[in-house]
Amino acid sequence: MKKLIIFLFFSTLLVGTGCQRFLQEDLRGKVLGDAALSTQAGLESALTGTYKGLGNTWATGFLHATSIAATMGGDDVTTLPGGNKAELKEFDTFTVTAGNGRTGNLYSGCYKTIQSANNIINNYKTTVGVAATINIIAGEAYFLRALSYYWLVRLYGSIPLLTSAEFSLDLLNIKRTEPTKIYALIESDLLLAEQMLPNTKRDVGRPNIGSAKALLADVYLTEGGWPMKDQSKYALAATKAKEVIDNHSTYGFQLLSTFAAVFVNDPTLNGTAEDVFVIGANKANGTTLDANYGWSAMPGDIGGWDDFFSEINFFKDFPAGARKDKTFAVTYTKSNGTVLTWQQLVTGHPYYQKFWIKQDDPGAQNYSSSLPFPMMRYAHVLTIYAEAMARSGGPDALAYTCINSIRTRAGLTSLSGLSPADFAAAVVQERAWEFAGERTRWFDLVRLEMVEVANSHRDPAENAIPNPITKANYTFPLPLSEVLANPNLK
């Protein structure tokens, strides 16, 4: 009896002690605060997270049909007239609304990458570890921030400019920043990146010096055109592209000998030597698989999704040769063995065979693959040099070599003796064919203010464009979420 009473009171007292400690939040297992980036491993982990914005399948970034949607205003791609492709069709017909989820996917992914990159850039100097590696990490962060802003500024024009990762409620009142300032940051980031990055990519899905220089060359080329129209940038573009060309073997870049080899699309290969920068993919995880190849580019008749296919006149004007043979599928074999021509397809359009997956096993031809997704290839660098030279000093021998190496591979004759303007125009046209469906043509049309002209030459069977195209259609409205959260962005 007494024992029980003693036990009873003892146990009552026991639980009453140590109140303050008892109510302390236990942060075991959480990554937070300064500790997150204080070590090299932590910084590396944050860098991995920085890439995620650009490669989060179905959610953000480039690994699914959002980037092709955004460039659908080009004359190389189009989509279904009805049904479930309404959002893609908005880009094709210049009726993009703020509510279009495809723009949101690219937009939010780029900004998520910018936030993470800002975090690294502002903190890497205090990180403890091997200085050389920390430098590379920071270099990759600069590269990713520049790449993200480059996509944003081209798609939306004036955008919010952030260089800090810190959150405060004041952020909800900021205003847009005009492109000039955005481009200034992109340039300075890439100049830093090329100082900090290594010659050899640390992994397939990472940049090296060559990637940074190539991207910078592309940026300069764009700055030469609409909306900045800073002609002085063409020379810079040429110089920067030449730095890449001169050192291409150091950076591991080369123009593959055949066009077919570029698009062999063998998921076991981890890309090719023509890749300047790719976003890595692995179908082992639902958020890292690449959904741009396969069904997205195939007709429904053979199981595809009809996300995008070639405009009819683009196909018709495309010069015959090895490149055309690889670029488009000529025949389409249904599961029951019936063979169709593109005219016999339900959509009556040719499809991009260059985005089909190499068929090795029965499951290979589907929507998911581990193919790295190229953002830029060495052929881009060659054409940038060629065009930039034509628009600055005039095409030199190297410019002709660059363009002719691509034409030769495509099965076309070499160019020679053109005026700078004709040469530049020829390069731009060459880029349209070489990079058909590769999210290049739209930006060329925009910077050279050719969107209206290019779209005037449409087959009547294409999706009708309801209203005349104006400069307002050169960029897209900011996603609805942004304007709702911050009315100052209106």
Partner 1 sequence: MKKSFTKATAFDNQFLRKALIMTKIYILILFCSIYTVKASDTYAQNVRVNLELNNVSLNKVIKAIKEQTEFEFAYDANLDQLILNKVSINAKNEKIDNVLANVLKGTNINFRVIDRIILLSSNVIKETSGIQNGMLLQPQNLTGTVTDAQTREPLIGVTLIVEGTTQGAVTDVNGKFTLKQPSSNATLKVSFMGYLTQIINITGQSRIDIRLNPDVKNLDEVVIVGYGTVKKSDLTGSVTSISNDKFAQQNVSRIDQALQGRATGVQVTNVGGAPGGEVRIRIRGANSALGSNDPLYVVDGFVGADFTLVNPNDIESLQVLKDAASTAIYGSRGSNGVIIVTTKKGKKGSVQFDYQGQIGVSNVIGKFNLLNAADFAQVVNEKNAAIGLGAAFTPANIAGFKEKGGTDWQNEVYQTAITNQHQLTISGGTEKTTFLVSGNYLKQDGIIKNSGFDRYMLRSNLNTQLNDKFSFRFNLTGTSLVNSNNQIQSGTGNPLVQALAWAPTTPIYDANGNYTLNDPVGSLKTNPLALIFDRDLRVVRSSANIVGGLRYEFIKGLALDIQYAVDYRTQQTKTFNGNYATNFSPNASIASLQQVTLQGTNSLSFNRIINEVHSINAVAVFETQQYTANSFNGNSAGLKFPELKYDNLGQGTTFTVGSDFSKWTLMSFLGRVNYAFREKYLLSVSIRRDGSSKFQSNNKYSTFPAGSIGWNLTKEDFIKNLDVFSNLKLRASWGWTGSQAIQPYATQSTYSSIIMAFNNNNLTSGTRLGNPGNPDLKWETTEQKDIGAEIGLLKGRLTGEFDYFIKETSDLLLNRPLPSYAGGGTYASNIGKIENKGWELSIGGTPLNSKNFKWKSDFNISNVNNKVVSLGNIADRIFTGSNVGAAFSTQSEFVYQPGKPLGSYWGLKYLGTWKPNEAAEAAKFGMVSGDARYEDLDHNHVINTSDYQIIGSGIPKTTAGWNNTLTFKNLTFNIFFQGVFGVDKLDYTRAAALIAMGDNRQATLVDIKDRYIPGVNETSNIPAFSKTNQTKAQSTMFMENGNFVRLKNLSLAYNIPLPALGNSASLRISLNATNLLTFTKYKGLDPEASSVGNGTDLNQSIDYGAYPNSKTYTLGINITF
Decide whether 211 or 368 has the Cβ nearer to partner 1.
368
Please, which of residues 316-355 interact with partner 1 by CB under 8 A? Answer: 334-335, 344-348
Query: Contacting partner 1 (CB under 8 A), which of 367, 400, 433, 442?
Result: 367
Query: Contacting partner 1 (CB under 8 A), which of 34, 125, 203, 397?
Result: 203
302 closest CA partner among 346, 359, 368: 346
Tell me how many residues contact partner 1 (CB under 8 A): 112
> Distance (Å, rounded) from C-alpha 376 to C-alpha 27?
43
Minimum distance from residue 346 beta carbon to partner 1 (Å) = 5
Residue with tokens 């046209």: 429
234 closest CA partner among 431, 415, 448: 448
For residue 227, whether the previous peptide bond is cis, meaning omega lies within 30 degrees of 0, is yes
Query: Contacting partner 1 (CB under 8 A), which of 206, 233, 409, 441?
Result: 206
Question: Which two structure tokens, joined as six digits, stand for 89?
Answer: 């069709």
Minimum distance from residue 200 beta carbon to partner 1 (Å) = 14
> Distance (Å, rounded) from C-alpha 286 to C-alpha 487?
35
Query: Contacting partner 1 (CB under 8 A), which of 62, 150, 305, 308?
Result: 305
Residue 408 CB burial class (10 angstroms; 0-12, 13-18, ≥19) = middle
Return left, alpha or beta for 29; rule: phi > 0 is left, psi -120 to 50 is alpha, else beta: left
Please, which of residues 425-464 interact with partner 1 by CB under 8 A? Answer: 461, 464
Decide whether 253 or 385 has the Cβ nearer to partner 1.
253
Query: Contacting partner 1 (CB under 8 A), which of 398, 425, 448, 480?
Result: 480
Minimum distance from residue 437 beta carbon to partner 1 (Å) = 20
Q: Interhelix angle for 209-224 vs 378-391, to 10°?
A: 40
Residue 247 is a binding residue for partner 1 (CB under 8 A)? no
Decide whether 252 or 348 has the Cβ nearer to partner 1.
348
Residue 162 is a binding residue for partner 1 (CB under 8 A)? yes
Decide if 413 contacts 266 (C-beta within 8 A).
no
Minimum distance from residue 8 beta carbon to partner 1 (Å) = 6
> Distance (Å, rounded) from C-alpha 411 to C-alpha 166?
53
Residue 280 is a binding residue for partner 1 (CB under 8 A)? yes
The terminus-to-terminus CA distance of the chain in angstroms comes to 78
Query: Contacting partner 1 (CB under 8 A), which of 71, 79, 108, 327?
Result: 108
Residue 33 is a binding residue for partner 1 (CB under 8 A)? yes
Grouping H, G, I as helix, E, B as strand and the rest as coil, residue 339 is strand
Decide whether 67 or 347 has the Cβ nearer to partner 1.
347
Question: Which two structure tokens, joined as six digits, stand for 74?
Answer: 């080009």
Decide whether 417 or 466 has the Cβ nearer to partner 1.
466
Residue with tokens 């590379």: 136
Minimum distance from residue 18 beta carbon to partner 1 (Å) = 10
Decide whether 132 or 485 has the Cβ nearer to partner 1.
485
Minimum distance from residue 55 beta carbon to partner 1 (Å) = 6
Minimum distance from residue 6 beta carbon to partner 1 (Å) = 12
Please give the single-letter amino acid code of residue 55.
G
Q: Interhelix angle for 179-196 vs 131-156, to 10°?
A: 150
Residue 383-422 contact track with partner 1, rule CB under 8 A, x = bound: ----------------------------------------
Query: Contacting partner 1 (CB under 8 A), which of 160, 179, 224, 225?
Result: 160
Phi and psi at residue 101, to the nearest 5° = -70, -25
Decide whether 32 or 130 has the Cβ nearer to partner 1.
32
Phi and psi at residue 265, to the nearest 5° = 50, 45
Q: 39: which strand partners?
A: 128
Residue 45 is a binding residue for partner 1 (CB under 8 A)? yes
Please, which of residues 167-186 interact with partner 1 by CB under 8 A? Answer: 167, 169, 171-172
> Distance (Å, rounded) from C-alpha 446 to C-alpha 230?
15
> Distance (Å, rounded) from C-alpha 407 to C-alpha 410?
5
Minimum distance from residue 63 beta carbon to partner 1 (Å) = 9
Decide whether 235 or 469 has the Cβ nearer to partner 1.
469
Query: Contacting partner 1 (CB under 8 A), which of 234, 295, 351, 356?
Result: 295
Question: Which two structure tokens, joined as six digits, stand for 176?
Answer: 């847009």
Full DSSP string of 333-345? E-TTS-EEEGGGS
Please, which of residues 76-105 interact with partner 1 by CB under 8 A? Answer: 81-84, 86-87, 97-101, 104
